[in-house]
Structure 1
Amino acid sequence: MKQRRAPIEVFSLSFLDVISCAFGAVVMLILLARNGEEGEFNDVSQVSDVLVALSRAERNLEDLQGALSEQQSKLTAAITETASNETQAERLEAQVARAQNDLLALTDKASGLEQTKRQRERAAISQNEASERDDEVGGIPVDADYVIFIVDTSGSMKAMWNKVLNTMNEVLNNHPQVLGFQIMSDNGEFLVNTTSGRWRNDTTGTRRAMLSALRTWNGSSNSSPVEGIEAALRLYGPRTPSLALYVLGDDYSGGSYDATLASINALNTNRAGGKIARIHAIGFSRSNGRLTDDVLKFSTLMREVTRQNKGSFIAQ
C-alpha cells in the first residue's frame, strides 16, 4: 500500500522570512543609494572649497602666531627698557645729589673769596702800592718778618703748578717787605741747597729768581707736609723771631693725626709755653671744590695744625 506524501506548502514560515529579509535589504540599499546622491560632500567643487578654506585658516593661524610672537618680543623689550629707565633715573638722582653738594661747596667758597677780596682791597697790600702791611689780610695774619714756604712737589700738585706759583707770589705780596724767606719741599729739601739754614734776602730780583727756579723744581715728595714742617721748625724755630710757615699741599699720606699734632706742637712751643711760629696752610684741589679723600685728609690735619699754632687755613 503506497504511502501518501504530505502536500508541499510553497509559502511556509521559512520562505516568508527569507523573502522579508531580502526585501528589507533591497529597501536599505535604496535608502543608502538616495543618501549618497543627495549627500553634502558628493560635489567635488564643494570638497575643493573646503580644502581652500582649511588652507586659508592655516595661513591665518600662522599669521596670528607671528603677530603674537612679535607682540611678545615688544613686551620683553618694553620691560627691559623700563628697567633701564629706572636704573638711569637712580643714576640721575645720585648725580643731582652730588651736583647739589658741589653747588653748596662752591657757594661757600665763593662767599669766602668775596670776603677775602674785600679785605684785600681794604688793606691795599700790593707791594707797589702799600708802604706798610695790614696785620691781617684775607683771614691770614701777615705780621711775620721771616717766611718759609713748604710746598708739596708731588705729581698731583705739579698738575696745578701755575696756580701754586701764583698763590706763593700773592702771599709774598701780602708781606710788602720781609727780612728773609725760604722755600722747602714737603720732605724738607731746600729749593737751593746751598742756602740751607740761611735766609734769602727779600728783593725783587730774589723773588723773581726763586719763583723761576721753582717752575722747574723736581723736589722729592711723599705727599705729606709733616717732614717739611718739622725740618723747618728744627732748623729755624729756636733762633728766628717772628716766623711764619706757609704749607701748600693737597694730600696727607701719614698716619695718626694725634701723633702728628703732638710732634709739631712740641717743636713749635718755646720754654715759656708760647708758639715759636705761626703755621698757615693753603689746600689745593683739582676736583673743583669737591672733598675727595686726599683733600679731606690734608684739610683735616692742617685745619687742626693751624688752629693750634695761631695760623689760618684757606682752601683754593
Structure 2
Amino acid sequence: MRKHRRQLEIFNLSFLDVISCGFGAIILLLVIARIFEPQVIEQTSTELSGQVIALKNQLEEIRGETRILNRELTARQEQLSDMKNKLARLQGELNDIEGRYRRAGTDSEAQSLVAGKLESARQKLDEEMQRLTAGYRRPAENAVIGGIPVDSEYIIFIIDTSGSMQQFAWPLVRRKMKEVLDIYPHVKGIQVLNDMGDYMFSQYAGRWIPDSKARRRAILNRLAGWAPFSNSSPVEGVVRAIQRFYAPDRRISLYVFGDDFAAGDMQAVIEEVRRRNAVAGRGSRVRIHTVGFPVQLIEPRAGRGAARFAALMRRLAEENNGSFVGLGRLR
C-alpha cells in the first residue's frame, strides 16, 4: 500500500510542472507578439496609404489622357465625316460627268446611225419616189394659219393688263396666248410686255427670251398672276417694242391683246408707228397682229373705247402686214 502512493505523488508533480511550463511559454509568446504588433500594423497602413495615393494619381493621369484622346477622336470623326461628304459629292459629280459622257457617246452614235440610214435610204430611192419628191415644194415664207402669217422668227406680245381685262378676259387671254405660241413650234426669241411697255421678266429687259418648252411654260405660268399698272392703251407698248427690237434683218411679229383705247390721237399713233417701223427692204417690217377682246361691250356706255381700239388696231394691222381678229365672246 505505501509503495503505490509514492508512485502516484511523483506522477502528479511532473504533470503539474509540464502544465506550468506550457502555460508560461504561451504567455511569453503572447507578450512577445503584442510588443511587435503595433509596429507591423502601422507600417502596413503606411504602405497601403502610399499605394492608394499612387493609384489615385495614376487614375487622374489616365482620366486626363482619356479626355484628350476623346477630343482627338471627336475631331477625327468630324474630319472623317467631312471627307465622306466630299467623297460623296465628288462621286456624284463623277457619275454626272460619266453619264454626260455616255449620253454624248450615245447621241453621237445615234446621229451617226441615223445619218447612215438616211444616206442608205436616199441611195435606195427608186424612180417613182424621186418623181414624187420632185413635185414637192416648201411652204411659202408668208404662209398663213387661220388668216395670220406665221413666217416670223421672233414674236412679241403686248398685253393689256388693265382691271377690265384682268376681271373679265384673263382666262381667255391665257388660252389665246398659248394658241399663238402653238402655231410657232420654234422661234429664235420671244418677248412679253404689257401695254405700258413694262417687261414680264425684268432680267430679260431689252433682249430676247430664248425659246424652249420650259420658257414657254414659265411665260404662261407668270401670266396667270401678272398684273402691272396699265392705262388701257396699247400705244406705249407697241412703240417701245418696235423701237427696241426692230431690225431690218429680222422677221418679227408683234401680237397686241387688248380691249380699249379710251384717249389719244389715233392718227398721231399711226404716224409714230409708221416712222419707227420703216421698211428697210422686203419682209423687214415688224408685223402687227391684234386680238380684240369684247370686254367693253359688256359694260354700259363703254363701247366708244372698244370702237376706237378696233379702228386703231385694224389700221395698224393693215399698214404693218398683220391681221386683226375680233373675238365675239369671252368664253
Q: Which TM class, normalised by the smaller chain length?
A: 0.5 to 0.7
Mapped partners of 1:190, 1:239: distance in 2: 23
- Counterpart of 1:49? none
C-alpha distance after superposition, 1:72-109 (max 9, x if no partner): xxxxxxxxxxxxxxxxxxxxxxxxxxxxxxxxxxxxxx
Q: Which residue number in structure 1 is paired with residue 94 of structure 2?
A: none
* 1:150 is aligned to 2:161: no
Of residues 275, 286, 290, the one that matches 1:281 is 290
Q: Which residue of 2 aligns with 1:176?
A: 185
Report what 1:137 is aligned to. Answer: 145
Superposed counterparts of 1:111-122, under 5 Å? none
Q: How many correspondences in the alignment?
A: 186
Tell me which of 243, 248, 256 is aligned to 2:252.
243
Aligned to 1:167: 176
Mapped to 2, the partners of 1:275 and 1:240 lie a distance apart of 6
1:205 aligns to 2:237 (yes or no): no
The partner residue of 2:273 within 233, 258, 264 is: 264
**Cα offsets for 1:164-188 (capped at 9, x unmatched):** 0100000010111111101100000
1:49-128 matches, cutoff 5 A? none
TM-score relative to the length of structure 2: 0.53
In structure 2, the CA distance between the partners of 1:210 and 1:305, relative to structure 1 (3 Å rule), is same
Residue of structure 1 aligned with 2:305, choices 273, 294, 304 = 294
Query: 1:162–1:240: structure 2 CA closer, same or farther, 3 Å change rule?
Result: farther
Give the secondary-structure state (helix, strand or coil) at the position aligned to 1:238.
Answer: coil
CA–CA distance in structure 2, aligned partners of residues 151 and 201 of structure 1: 19
In 2: Cα distance, 1:289 partner to 1:220 partner? 21
2:251 paired with 1:232: no
Q: Which residue does the alignment assign to 1:19?
A: none
Unaligned runs of 5+ in 2: 1-139
Quote the residue 2:61 is aligned against.
none
> What amino acid does structure 1 have at the position aligned with 2:325?
I
Q: Taking every aligned residue pair, what percent have the same amino acid on both sides?
A: 38
Contact 2:290 2:324 in 1 (8 A): yes
Partner of residue 305, structure 1: 316
Residues 139, 274 of structure 1: alpha-carbon distance in 2 compared, 3 angstrom cutoff: closer
1:141 partner amino acid: P
C-alpha distance in 2 between matches for 1:240 and 1:249:
28
Quote how far apart the aligned CAs of 1:210 are: 0.9
Deviation for aligned residue 1:294? 2.1
Cα drift, residue 304 of structure 1: 0.4
Contact 2:248 2:280 (8 Å CA) reproduced: no
SS of residue matched to 1:244: strand
Deviations 1:242-298 (A, max 9, x none): 011000000012322111100011010134597520000000013379992221111
